[in-house]
Amino acid sequence: MLRPILIHLACLCCSILSLSGCHTNPRLPASTEQGLASLGPADVLLLGEQHDASDHHRLQAEVVMHLTGQGRLAALALEMAEQGRHTRDLPRHAEPAQVRDALGWSDSAWPWTQYEAAVMAAVKAGVPVLGANLPRKQMGLAMNNPELDRLLSPAALKTQSERIRDGHCGQLAESRIPAMVRIQIARDLAMAQTLEPAVRPDQTVVLLAGRGHVDRTVGVPLHLPSGLRVRAVALGMISHEEARTNSIQFDAFWPAAPAPPTDYCAQFKRSGASRSTPSPAPPVNPR
């Protein structure tokens, strides 16, 4: 793995408030180009997002367009589509509807408009887009598979349990938390298993996923082969304010505006969620 790298937020050429004045070409802010260069070469680049933060999706699209423009994008992998779904059989001129169909896209779970720019940039460049998430039909097996617990250290299991508890606003019964943790582990494992065979020499596979999934201490990086075989960089898109209290372990931070303030727990409680209701869904409180 690459040694930990930290992009100091104050040292980037442009702040998130002044990107429009720092272009080297019409598509790519100088901070994006310089930020990628500062990371060094990577076989796998894990972009950790807050799912409802529009600025994160803008940055994702810029990264994908930059890498495709240089012929360096090996594949684009997505938490937002199930493992086994892909666009390999589609032509470069495929329409968005064809792409959504190939990926089995669920617009209710993942609004297409947020990801369209990044996904279609890859398709138009002839780069495969790969579903990487655990298929829903496998979630029941994961929930009841204690062998998954062995893939994390006791400390990492505790961290995941706390995040599941907090992410579901304290509304999950304690008896459900171990099963939910296993689903998170299985998801991370599925994403890693999708990334590894997509690696190509002198190119980069990009994963778009929630920030918790790219955490070096509990997420996808734990399940990638170590050493020189796969060099991975976990890059967290995060605001200056969030960076001061962030507990997720990235290799680097990328300044990005957060989503508008939202009381996710109030929304969750209004939905009538029960403490005893099992759910394979991700946390409703995206951290």
Query: Is residue 105 a part of any domain in this protein?
Result: yes
Calpha distance 129→116 (Å, rounded): 12
Residue with tokens 């190939």: 102
Residue 85's pLDDT is: 98
Q: Is 236 helix (H, G, I), strand (E, B) or coil?
A: strand
Q: Is the full-model pTM beyond 0.85? A: no
Which CATH number characterizes residue 207's domain? 3.40.50.11550
Both tokens assigned to 169: 């606003």
- Which domain covers residue 14, as residue numbers? 9-138+187-270
CA 78 to chain centre: 7
The pLDDT value given to residue 162: 92
pLDDT of residue 226: 73
What pLDDT does residue 258 have?
Answer: 74
Distance CA 195, CA 197 (A): 6
Q: Which two tokens stand for residue 277?
A: 């209701």
The DSSP call for residue 224 is S
Tokens of 231: 């060099």
* pLDDT of res. 41: 85
Rounded to whole angstroms, the Cα distance separating 94 from 145 reads 39
Give a yes or no: residue 162 inside a domain: no
**E strands along 55-111, which residues?**
73-82
**What pLDDT, on the 0 to 100 scale, is given for residue 30?**
53
Cα 89 to Cα 99, 105, 178, 216, distances in angstroms: 10, 16, 38, 33
Number of domains in the chain: 1
Distance CA 281, CA 184 (A): 10
Nearest to 235 by CA among 249, 222, 218, 217: 249
d(CA 61, CA 121): 8
Within a domain: 119: yes
Cα angle value 82/277/140 (rounded, 5°): 35
pLDDT tens-digit profile, the chain (287 residues):
333 323 332 233 222 222 222 222 223 345 677 778 878 889 999 999 988 888 899 999 999 999 999 999 999 999 999 999 999 999 999 999 999 999 999 999 999 999 999 999 999 999 999 999 999 999 999 999 999 999 999 999 999 999 999 887 877 889 999 999 999 999 999 999 999 999 999 999 999 999 999 999 999 999 998 765 789 999 988 876 676 666 788 888 887 777 666 555 766 666 654 433 333 444 444 44
In a domain, residue 84? The reply is yes
DSSP 73: E
Position 172 in a domain: no
Is position 282 within any domain?
no
Is 1 inside a domain boundary? no
- Residue 191 vs residues 176, 198, 205: alpha-carbon distances, Å: 23, 11, 12
239 domain-assigned: yes
Q: In what order do the strands lie in the sheet with 73-82?
A: 129-133, 73-82, 204-210, 44-49, 232-238, 252-255
**Pair of tokens at residue 257:** 């505006």
